[in-house]
Amino acid sequence: MTTKRLILTLIAGLLVLTGCIHPSPAMTNTPEPSLPATIAPPTSMPNYLSPLFKLYMFAEGFGWASNLDQIRFYHIGNFGEHWLTVTPPDFPSHGSGWGTYTSFPSGDIAWICQTETDSSASLYSTTNSGLNWQTHKLSFPCGQISFLNANEGYILSDQGVGAGSQYVSVYHTADGGQNWELRFEHNPADPDDHGLPTGGIKSHFGFLSSDIGLVGGSVPVSGADYVFRTVDGGISWKQAECQGLPLDENQQTSVDNIIRIDATTAILPIRSYLDNGNSVTYFCSSTDAAENWEYVGMLENIEFFDFGTLLTGVAFGEGRMYQTSDGGASWTETTAGLPPAVTPVSLDMVNGLVGFLTATITPDTLTDNRIYITGNNGTDWQSMPADIIESSNVSIVP
């Protein structure tokens, strides 16, 4: 099958799926429609190698990507066939060690925040697929960012880590980054932490809707999951708990991601490291805007994963690939469909069927990578050209 025919098939299928992306099983018992089974076997050797590493794709075929160090950014509008370089013109090339954080609410909106000092940062934003960028100077350092659209977003500003603790502040904007309101701040002189303790490393952050957000991470305490929820836009927090999580009292855990499906549905993966050197990832899910979490299932020794809906997801680890259609309660091995001669390193599922896999021939540097697409939730993968086009039209808007 030619790449053009594959893309046309995906477009047709995705138009059907667009109205039912991320369905909640509590709302419907209708099976999600399937794309035609026309995905050809992957090519044995890539025709195009690129630094594309992490992808953020959307149902319309638009998406974003960055290299490993997050100093180069790319945009696409045709399902991974041709990528346009859209790095902001004045974006510094310090790399991720300088604190670079991203948020991509849609296929044409992007936010990139980079810390400059312990009291300043630059925030870059675009609403037209990276053709034009605006730069916002911040009077606080960056941290993880979560934007809901072109206007509203949050920053979990990092105030420093030490002795198992991490002090943070939460800032909110409702006007596209022009003005910021301090919603929450750890203050060493004030013992009131408003429900979000200074103790613990806060490694994951995201908002499901305008007021409801989550912070997840780890704390050096056995038998506990570390996740906190706000319902007032970050002003106050309350610890959440995954009901039925089968943790041993001697196991230490860390939240491995916060996967937002929609404003009321999310998946919380929690990783635990065992004494024998193995790891277990537990999957919890919520259908009531993260008020309640229920344990669903587990998978051992996986390196990365993603869910396209509450029920469907793909995972990879130790050279094996798996898929689930019941939210992680059970997993089916699909290793036979993996592309040959490359090492999978990153995954982005768009919905219950379509997803993108980044694989590499240089695992040590992750600089020579190849993009693959699935139309059947990871049963098999088709290579995409994913060639990069340099652009001279990207500009900064005053």
The tens digit of pLDDT for each residue in 343-385 reads: 999 999 999 999 999 999 999 999 999 999 999 999 999 999 8
Cα distances (Å, whole numbers) of residue 14 to 90, 266, 297, 329: 36, 22, 29, 26
The candidate with the shortest Cα–Cα distance to 109, out of 179, 58, 173, is: 58
The candidate with the shortest Cα–Cα distance to 103, out of 69, 150, 140, is: 150
pLDDT of 46 reads 46
Burial of 25 (0-12, 13-18, 19+ CB in 10 A): middle
Query: How many CB atoms sit inside 10 A of residue 335's CB?
Result: 11
pLDDT of 98 reads 63
Contact 309, 59 (CB under 8 A): no
The candidate with the shortest Cα–Cα distance to 257, out of 205, 303, 296, is: 205
Report how far residue 63's alpha carbon sits from residue 370's, in angstroms, rounded to the nearest whole number: 16
The continuous run of DSSP H or E covering 162 comes out as: strand 153-162
Report how far residue 45's alpha carbon sits from residue 65's, in angstroms, rounded to the nearest whole number: 22
Per DSSP, the three-state class of 51 is coil
Residue 325 predicted with pLDDT over 80: yes
pLDDT of 221 reads 83
pLDDT digits (tens, 9 = 90+) for 93-132: 765 546 899 999 999 999 999 998 889 999 999 999 999 9
Q: What is the mean pLDDT of the chain?
A: 87
pLDDT of 249 reads 81
Per DSSP, the three-state class of 39 is coil
Report how far residue 256's alpha carbon sits from residue 188's, in angstroms, rounded to the nearest whole number: 28
Q: Of 10-14, 162-166, 271-275, which gets the smallest average pLDDT?
A: 10-14
- Listing DSSP states for 312-345 in one string gives -EEEEETTEEEEESSTTSS-EE-GGGSPTTSEEE
20 or 114: which leads in pLDDT: 114
% of the chain beyond a pLDDT of 70: 86
> Residue 310 contacts by C-beta under 8 Å, 6 or more apart in sequence?
22, 23, 24, 25, 261, 265, 267, 285, 287, 327
Report how far residue 116's alpha carbon sits from residue 83's, in angstroms, rounded to the nearest whole number: 28
pLDDT digits (tens, 9 = 90+) for 40-92: 444 444 457 999 999 999 988 899 999 999 999 999 988 777 899 999 998 98
Residue 36 predicted with pLDDT over 80: no
The residue type found at 113 is C
pLDDT of 276 reads 82
Per-residue pLDDT band for 35 (boundaries 50, 70, 90) equals very low
pLDDT digits (tens, 9 = 90+) for 170-215: 999 999 999 999 999 999 888 889 999 999 999 999 999 999 999 9
Query: How many CB atoms sit inside 10 A of residue 4's CB?
Result: 10
